[in-house]
Amino acid sequence: MARALPVLDGETPFQQDYMPVLLDVIKQLKAGLVDSLHSIYVFGSVARREAKAGMSDLNLTVIVQRPAYYVRAIGSEYYSPADYFPVLGCFGC
């Protein structure tokens, strides 16, 4: 049976363990995408406030205002938040 999507409000904060990584990812995206960034959507266990430290990953959808081939790369290296925030699980390691 399909589960209904939870209603999330802006008054309920994300889990404290995940705030540093969320803020860092937002900072990195803003710096790399500059004026191309439209919005960032968090989904999955972090959005539901059910994430488990060291096991859950971070699911994001990033919306840009122009096609991806116009968007400048974020830094010169691949950015992996899991390298800096152990609260994230290591998937594919």
Residue 91 forms part of a structural domain = no
Q: List C-alpha distances in Å: 32 to 6, 7, 40, 79.
A: 31, 30, 13, 11
> Above 80 in pLDDT, residue 89?
no
Number of domains, the chain: 1
Q: Tell me the average pLDDT across 22-39.
A: 86
Residue 62 forms part of a structural domain = yes
Q: Tell me the average pLDDT across 21-41.
A: 87
> Above 50 in pLDDT, residue 76?
no
The neighbour count for residue 89, using CB atoms within 10 Å, is: 15
Residue 79 forms part of a structural domain = no
pLDDT at 37: 87
Residue 10 forms part of a structural domain = no
Which structural domain range is residue 59 located in? 40-70
Residue 47 forms part of a structural domain = yes
CA nearest 44: which of 65, 30, 58?
A: 58
Instruction: List pLDDT tens digits, range 41-75.
Output: 999 999 889 999 988 988 988 888 876 655 555 54
Instruction: List pLDDT tens digits, range 2-27.
Output: 666 555 666 778 899 999 999 998 88
pLDDT at 3: 63
Residue 46 forms part of a structural domain = yes
Residue 2 forms part of a structural domain = no
Q: Tell me the average pLDDT across 28-33.
A: 84
User: Phi and psi (nearest 5°) for 66?
Assistant: -145, 165
Residue 48 forms part of a structural domain = yes
